[in-house]
């Protein structure tokens, strides 16, 4: 069986596991562990608190310094509300495309690594390849930190980490950080004819959301005079993606809840934006308390994924460029687990098959040429580590 055929067959198996973030990834992990074990490769699990999900990592080759980590997440985004032409959890081949949820983001990279694991095991590696499969990347990169900490305590220091998110096999050395907030405004309901006696949670939420827009506009204006940037847009963004609240048009809202997404440029700190937002909320809350002390604003940070920063003379960048031949500079707008590896002192880049333009959409697909390019990349890595 050719590498491309093996990778396609493995991708079909992985797509068949509906590992949306709201569900368990254990069936996929069980399959991956059994597959690795069948080729003499031991694996290690790092589960979540209730054991419903788990990370999995494995070392192929000798446990010596200078290895390479191939990192991918196992969860996918939901398909509810999307209209698909095929079953999203059955790999479907049409022309030069393979359709299915996760084909691009990012089961193809994982499928290639698992399909080539027998070659890795038989290659006589002088330096190891470490596989790292995480859970809950799509809901805030929640699973990877525990796995990264476990690997750091166990394995010999690797040379590089390759996070295989879809980059069209370009070497990506930077991306924004992502912080997710949940905000609950607690008001006092009264009839709107005596609105001054109540506190509208919806009206307060509107002021908080307005602050987000005003703060982002300040960033946009600053970026306009700051010179060229690889990022698009070239500034930190603040966004409310979901809001709900109120009971009737003539009652001041008792509750309003909304979500906030802050995407910070490398070099900026999400904590600074949270502090500014919380300070503004505190001023509003003081006004609310003058009406009723039981009102308030609760801000919960549900996720905080660090940015990926370009490393001066980075080992991972040098390795990825040697394997791809790509010498251009690339950054992406979406977040990955790369910054979490960097924060643990691993040299890291993002490089994987597929185009994120297809990710998260109905009829998600990867082109066969991208699957082949990803397989060729990992085979060149095997050869280099065996040399």
Residue 303 phi, psi (nearest 5): -160, 155
Q: Where are any strands of DSSP class E within 48-94?
A: 54-60, 68-73, 92-94
**Long-range contacts for 367-371 (Cβ within 8 Å, ≥24 apart)?**
367/96, 367/97, 367/98, 368/4, 368/8, 368/96, 368/97, 368/98, 369/96, 370/108, 370/166, 370/168, 370/169, 371/4, 371/7, 371/8, 371/11, 371/98, 371/108, 371/112
Q: Where are any strands of DSSP class E within 122-268?
A: 129-134, 160-163, 174-175, 177-186, 237-245, 255-264
Residue 23 burial (CB count, 10 A) = 15
Q: Is 300 exposed, middle or buried (0-12, 13-18, 19+ CB in 10 A)?
A: exposed
Cβ atoms of 76 and 14 within 8 Å: the answer is no
Q: Catalytic residues, which ones?
A: 75, 137
């Amino acid at each position: 069986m050719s590498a491309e055929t093996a990778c396609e067959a493995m991708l079909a198996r992985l797509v068949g596991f509906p590992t949306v973030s709201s569900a368990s990834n254990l069936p996929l992990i069980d399959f991956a562990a059994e597959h690795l074990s069948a080729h003499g490769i031991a694996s290690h699990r790092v589960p979540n608190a209730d054991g419903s999900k788990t990370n999995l990592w494995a070392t192929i080759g000798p446990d010596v310094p200078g290895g390479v980590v191939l990192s991918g997440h196992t969860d996918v985004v939901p398909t509810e509300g999307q209209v698909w032409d095929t079953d999203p959890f059955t790999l479907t081949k049409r022309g030069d495309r393979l359709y299915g949820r996760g084909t691009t983001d990012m089961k193809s990279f994982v499928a290639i690594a698992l399909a080539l694991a027998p070659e890795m095991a038989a290659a006589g590696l002088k330096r190891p390849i470490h596989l790292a499969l995480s859970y809950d990347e799509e809901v805030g990169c929640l699973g990877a930190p525990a796995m990264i900490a476990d690997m750091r305590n166990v394995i010999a220091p690797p040379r590089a980490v390759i996070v295989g998110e879809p980059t069209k096999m370009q070497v990506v050395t930077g991306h924004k950080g992502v912080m997710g907030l949940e905000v609950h405004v607690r008001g006092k309901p009264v009839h709107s004819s005596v609105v001054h006696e109540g506190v509208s949670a919806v009206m307060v939420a509107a002021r908080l959301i307005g602050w987000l827009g005003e703060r982002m506009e300040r960033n946009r204006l600053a970026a306009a005079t700051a010179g060229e940037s690889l990022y698009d847009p070239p500034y930190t963004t603040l966004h409310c993606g979901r809001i709900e609240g109120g009971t009737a048009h003539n009652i001041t809202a008792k509750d309003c809840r909304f979500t906030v997404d802050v995407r910070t440029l490398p070099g900026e700190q999400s904590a600074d934006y949270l502090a500014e937002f919380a300070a503004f909320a505190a001023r509003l809350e003081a006004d609310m308390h003058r009406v009723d002390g039981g009102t308030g604003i609760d801000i919960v940070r549900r996720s905080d994924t660090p940015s990926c920063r370009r490393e001066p003379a980075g080992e991972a960048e040098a390795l990825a460029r040697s394997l791809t031949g790509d010498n251009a500079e690339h950054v992406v707008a979406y977040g990955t687990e790369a910054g979490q590896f960097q924060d643990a002192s691993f040299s890291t880049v993002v490089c994987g098959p597929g185009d994120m333009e297809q990710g998260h959409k109905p009829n998600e697909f990867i082109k066969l040429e991208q699957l082949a390019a990803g397989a060729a990349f990992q085979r060149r890595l095997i050869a280099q580590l065996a040399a």
